[in-house]
Amino acid sequence: MKLFLLWIAVHASQYVVFLYFLVVNSVYTALIFLALRDIVRHAYLTTSRVARRQLASEFYFKPVSVIVPAHNEAAVITQSVQALLNLHYPEFEVIVVNDGSTDDTLERLRLDFSLQSCAKPVRLQVPHEAIRGVYRSAAYSHLIVVDKVNGGKADAINAGINVSSYPIFCSIDADSLLEPDALLKSSKLFLEDDELIATGGIIRILNGCKVQDGSVTEIGLPRGFLEAMQVLEYTRAFLSGRTGWNALKSLLIISGAFGVFRKDMVVAVNGYRKTVGEDMDLVMRLHRHCRDRAIPYKILFVPDPVCWTQAPFSLRMLLKQRNRWHRGMIDALLANRVMILNRKYGATSLIGISYFVFVEFLGPLIELFGYVSIPILYYFGMLNERFFVMLVLLAVFWGISINIGAVFLDIYNFRRYKKTSDILRLCVLSAAEFFGYRQIMLLERLVATVTFRKKDWGTQDRRVFEKKGTTV
């Protein structure tokens, strides 16, 4: 009887793995087609005429507070802030929140921007750790620096929200660079649609690019395999993933590296929650808040405002980052578990959250199960070798199609990578991903699944943006 049950279980598991493979790849393929439609439409409607009209009109904007949480960012903070101060935008303030750095981040800011103590009363709308001081730059009146006790990224952004003066805020990582028109492109959406409560632009990898005066002057694919592979991953995640979810009205993540929010809505959900996946958690709570109260709302991803960010350049850092992302996702799903398969939350729950639960959370477990079952089935002579070989070939070729499809979306519409060699390398990486890289990432996600209760962020090494004549 036991053997029979085992036989049934083994056969059923093969079916589950096969079905999982079909469903996941079909979802990715569908997302690419949805994204293509959305991106082409967006490209048509966001003509240069429209942008010119908006730039020309000094009344066509809402003032924005740019919040930069910074913890031990001394290596990049000056250039990053300098780049933000050069943004093309009629009225904005930059709020750098020094989140209890143990390096000389604050000192660097104090010296480079002539900071002076300022007694600005802070309105406590969302919770955060104690603020030690607020400073304003004597050189740039729209630069404010907040020095506070360490409490994590979410806590730092909350402090920034309380200090901010404007109705819209943009959160951006200290190691990231916004393109000069990125803020204009993303915040204009708030004028075009009163229901919009949050939006995010695309995050691109800064590694391999040349930076001058806080702006990316030459775009190139990084030389390192890991960094170049991340370019492919980001392209896939943003252009096919988020644009596709956008079309399905199920966007659940606005990247913590660059997101623009309506402050009143974020305050209404009590700001960011202290967790490693604070970006996804916030978006999920915004969905919940609006659905629970029948508030008409929109959360959108737009593919053309660009934020350049540094990607990890060593395997150790990369694994740490992926581990954190996966733990963050699990934590956000757990904290908002009421939304799972709940019709009250509409497409967000039934499509978006279901995808995260069944593909992103359970996927690594099913994939691992698939890998483990192969030698076991082979040992017991239950492996259909021909079927196995065909399945592997199908998986790899389909996966490559999905990857090249994402590259296609980027090169066809945005043409950021202009060198033929870069395009060809991205296509080669589309295939290379399946031989080692994917499996290593899978293992790290499994580790994260087991250790999801850990709350630490870890530290990331940074490269200085600009060194004369070199790329990042």
Partner 1 sequence: MLEILTQSPHFYDYVTAAVLLLGVFNVAEVLFLLWNKARVERSEVKRQNLKRLASTALITATDPAELLPRPIKEEEFAAYSEAIASVLDSFEGEIAVKAVKLISDLGIDDHYRRLARHRVWYKRGNAIDILSSFRLKSNREFFLAVFRSEPALDVRYRIIYGLSRLAREHADIRALARLLSGLPYLTAKYTEDIFYNIITSLKASGSEAEFGIFMREIMHDKTVLNLVKRDCITACYAAGCERGRGLLREYYAAFPGEPEILISAVKALARVGDFSVTAEALKNPDWRVRLAALKHAHLCCMDMLPEIRAMLNDPSYHVRLNAALALAKGDNKCRVALREAAAGPDAFAASAAAYALTQEAA
Q: Does 136 bind partner 1 (CB under 8 A)?
A: yes
Residues 389 to 408: which contact partner 1 by CB under 8 A?
390, 393-394, 397-398, 400-401, 404-405, 407-408
Q: Does 296 bind partner 1 (CB under 8 A)?
A: no
Q: Does 49 bind partner 1 (CB under 8 A)?
A: yes
d(CA 313, CA 231): 12
Identity (one letter) of the amino acid at 29?
T
For partner 1, the closer CB: 25 or 321: 25
Minimum CB separation of residue 199 from partner 1 in Å reads 15
Q: Does 371 bind partner 1 (CB under 8 A)?
A: no
Q: Does 57 bind partner 1 (CB under 8 A)?
A: yes
Q: Does 457 bind partner 1 (CB under 8 A)?
A: no
Minimum CB separation of residue 371 from partner 1 in Å reads 17
Minimum CB separation of residue 162 from partner 1 in Å reads 10
Q: Does 213 bind partner 1 (CB under 8 A)?
A: no
Q: Does 119 bind partner 1 (CB under 8 A)?
A: yes
Minimum CB separation of residue 253 from partner 1 in Å reads 26
Minimum CB separation of residue 15 from partner 1 in Å reads 5
Give the number of residues in contact with partner 1, rule: CB under 8 A.
50
Q: Does 160 bind partner 1 (CB under 8 A)?
A: no
Site string for partner 1, 178-197 (x = CB under 8 A): -------------xxxx---
Q: Does 91 bind partner 1 (CB under 8 A)?
A: no
Q: Does 132 bind partner 1 (CB under 8 A)?
A: no
Question: Which residues here bind partner 1, judged by CB under 8 A?
Answer: 11-12, 14-15, 18, 41, 44-45, 47-50, 57, 59-60, 116-121, 123, 136, 138, 191-194, 384, 386-387, 390, 393-394, 397-398, 400-401, 404-405, 407-408, 411-412, 415, 418, 420, 423-424, 427
